[in-house]
Amino acid sequence: MDLLTDIFYYLVPFIVLLGVLVFVHELGHFLVAKTAGVKVEEFSLGFGRELWGFNDKSGTRWKVCAIPLGGYVRMLGDADAASATESEEVKKLSEEELKRTFTAQAPSKKLAITLAGPVANYLFAILIFTGIFFFLGRLTFPPVIGEVLDGGAAQAAGLQKNDRVLEINGKKIDTFADLQREVDLSVDKKADLVVQRGEQVLNIPVVLKELEVPTSEYDSENAPKQQKLLLGVRSVNAVELDKKDLSLGEALKEAGAETWDITTATLRGVGQMLTGKRASDDVGGVIRIAEMTGDISKERGFVDFLVFMALLSINLGLINLFPIPVLDGGQAVICLIEMVSRRELGEKVKEYMFRFGFGVIMALVVFATWNDLVHLFKRIFV
């Protein structure tokens, strides 16, 4: 029974989540390609053997395949799902048919088709956030302790994971940002906390510790240092709703700001990993995503699931914009080179570029999978 329950909570939501995000991404490519006059031969969710499919009136084969770890849109004349090279069938096409191939399009049209997938993921995330903000309210991070840091003031005072801070020094605490602000304003290194732990409400005095921290999170290594009072906790990885009425315009503006903040935070994290300021074991793959999806499905509500879907949609769009051949960003770079040089890159050059890109992606997949397996092992056995 436990196995069946885990399959329901982990595998099914993961497949649904990934299927929706891949569908949105590929639908972006599909719609812009059709608008540009390019014939789309296949729209596939997944890879490998076809499980189910049908042909629409325009001749596009819509199908679901056995390996649900991605998808693709294959256009007329493509030799592969990435539209990297032409197939041999191009030589057999009529002049009219050639005009409907991807490679025959002007670089500006190819660029639009290429970028449409990541843009669709971003628009989908904004749509989710707009709906949540408009119908339910703003997202806030609750003042719930997600982790008590070793050697910190919170550990010494006996604070525990999942404790909810209700008050600090007589001030009501509604969000984790409120908690941080009141700790900063505490005097004499003392903070009197009112904490909810399960059904209990506890009064816990804490002697704060003053530590040296960088003045900027953006360049923590080179930024000047300052002394700061710290509680020694991290927030829980969850959201709550601040039920304030927003107009549709306000909700859309908030959604755009939230999407931008997530994008910049992700880029900062990637930059920190590349420069060695952040541990590379934060890099995760499909196993980690499946684990997080299952945890959210099992322990939280539908709103948390939607927020996680929006977060992954942003990350999928952003990662695909990286200038690595095989990804949309690499294809976009090729389009820009062709627009500037006013001539198409040779097939051999593109082939070598995509081989290199494929190698980079496979190395990242292996690395992320290794991290996922180590993380899963520690979760189960440590």
pLDDT at 178 over 80: yes
Token digits for 206? Answer: 């804490």
Least-confidence region, from 148-157, 179-188, 202-211:
179-188
pLDDT at 224 over 60: no
The second-level CATH assignment, the architecture, of 142-237 is Roll (2.30)
Angstrom distance (rounded) from CA 130 to CA 121: 14
> What local confidence, expressed as pLDDT, does residue 216 receive?
45
> What does the domain layout of the chain look like in residue ranges?
2-136+289-381, 142-237
Q: 106-155, pLDDT tens digit by residue?
A: 889 999 999 999 999 999 999 999 999 999 888 788 899 988 888 888 99
> What local confidence, expressed as pLDDT, does residue 277 receive?
66
Least-confidence region, from 60-74, 213-227, 251-265, 309-323:
213-227
Would you say 12 and 68 are in contact if contact means Cβ atoms under 8 Å apart?
no
> What local confidence, expressed as pLDDT, does residue 215 receive?
46
Per-residue pLDDT band at 242 (split at 50, 70, 90): confident
> What local confidence, expressed as pLDDT, does residue 1 receive?
44
* Mean of the per-residue pLDDT values of the chain: 84
Angstrom distance (rounded) from CA 312 to CA 296: 13
Is 26 annotated as catalytic?
Answer: yes
Residue range 310-319: average pLDDT? Answer: 95
How distant, in Å, are the alpha carbons of 1, 38, 61, 274, 314 from that of 58? Answer: 46, 11, 9, 45, 31
> What local confidence, expressed as pLDDT, does residue 158 receive?
93
Token digits for 45? Answer: 């969710």
Q: 278-301, pLDDT tens digit by residue?
A: 667 777 788 888 888 888 877 777
pLDDT at 218 over 60: no
How distant, in Å, are the alpha carbons of 162, 205, 213, 325 from that of 38? Answer: 54, 68, 55, 22
pTM: 0.79
Catalytic residue among 26, 182, 254, 258: 26
